[in-house]
Amino acid sequence: MRSRHIAALALAGLFQVMTPAPVAAQRVDWWGWLDHLSGPGPFKGTVLDFRLVCFGPESPAKRLAARLTEARQLTTAVVPGDDNGPFARAKAAWDELLAELARTAVTFPVLPLGDVADARGRLLALTKNDLLLFNARSGESASQARDASPNARVDDLGQTIRWVKRVAAANIAAGSTGVFWSACSNDKTRRSSLDLGVSFWETKDTDEQYANGQPIRLTTVMASYSWRLFDDPRYDFLDAGFGGGAYFFTSQGFDSFSGVVVQPFRLDLHAPSLWNSYSLGDGALRTAARVAALVTFRYGAVTFPSGFEADAFAAAGDKARRIHAELNRTWSVLFNLKPLLQHTKP
């Protein structure tokens, strides 16, 4: 069991880790901290959730990335002494990109709508020399191009690239909140998803009346359906879900057994997706918001519908009685690192 936990934690260090706090997996009462027990527990352990597929509309980041690629490609075709055809096409592509950004600022509110509108207005004065200057510096980062050039219109183009990255970062966060790893395509903006959860629990304090005092391990594998209750990335701080699957009890004190486990509900409380679009170096307040956005607090309940026979846990004394189905509250603290590990390269 120890090697299994070490492997799970090592894998979590590479991607994202979910380390739950104490869970009353087998208590008689709804509230996990009450002392009157109907079975062994509480259990502590490691929870890993995988997002398998997302459902939702097309991501604005996908459209923006396509328009940005086109604008950059057309900009490279603008050369000194050439006619104005390439310049006109490149200028039109940047204008279309900023127009798409303005629409995105309404439907997926991550960007400052007024600033996007102002930048598009200034783009009307874009000249061929502006594009040549931006093209000459296109191999550098947007921030380097901005800092090195006093040209306000070139600065607008660099800001446009950063805006596209902000939308992409917020969309990644919306698809990966509260899971160990997400396989969802960034081409969609998640409204709901199918998830797979694997949990490894163990009793830390042995009870001589169960399993002859030996540690008891519980493994659960559950499929679940979850959804964002609010689709606005400025306020999508709550997800809900439900699911079910199989459990496996093992111990040196009794014969292993398994059955069905159901999670009738779970709630994930987290920072809005918008906070994940902030830069870690963009002031103390936004840096703190970005760090806070990595944490999710999960609260839920599980039940074992068939209950447990009197001899299931090799119980002794007055503990040797049938355990009926009951709701058992759980809570976890999860760390969502995918927005940091997955770079946005629109």
User: CB of 66 within 8 A of CB of 132?
Assistant: no
User: CB of 178 within 8 A of CB of 229?
Assistant: no
Q: Per residue in 211-235, pLDDT tens? A: 888 898 899 999 999 999 999 999 9
Give the residues across from 132 on adjacent strands. none
Distances (CA, A) of 215 to 56, 249, 304: 44, 11, 20
Q: What is the pLDDT of residue 281?
A: 74
Integer Cα distance of 134 and 194 in angstroms:
43
Whether the ω angle into residue 272 lies within 30 degrees of 0, i.e. cis, is: no
Q: What is the pLDDT of residue 179?
A: 79
Q: How many helices (H) and strands (E) does the chain have?
A: 9, 9
* Residue ranges for the chain with pLDDT beneath 50: 1-37, 140-148
Query: Hey, what domains does the chain have and what are their CATH numbers?
Result: 2-57+180-341 (2.40.160.20), 60-174 (no CATH)
Complete DSSP assignment for 70-132: HHHHHHHT--TTS-SHHHHHHHHHHHHHHHHHHHHHHHS--S-HHHHHHHHHHHTT--HHHHH
- By residue count, the chain amounts to 346
Integer Cα distance of 279 and 259 in angstroms:
46
DSSP, collapsed to helix, strand or coil, labels residue 3 as: helix
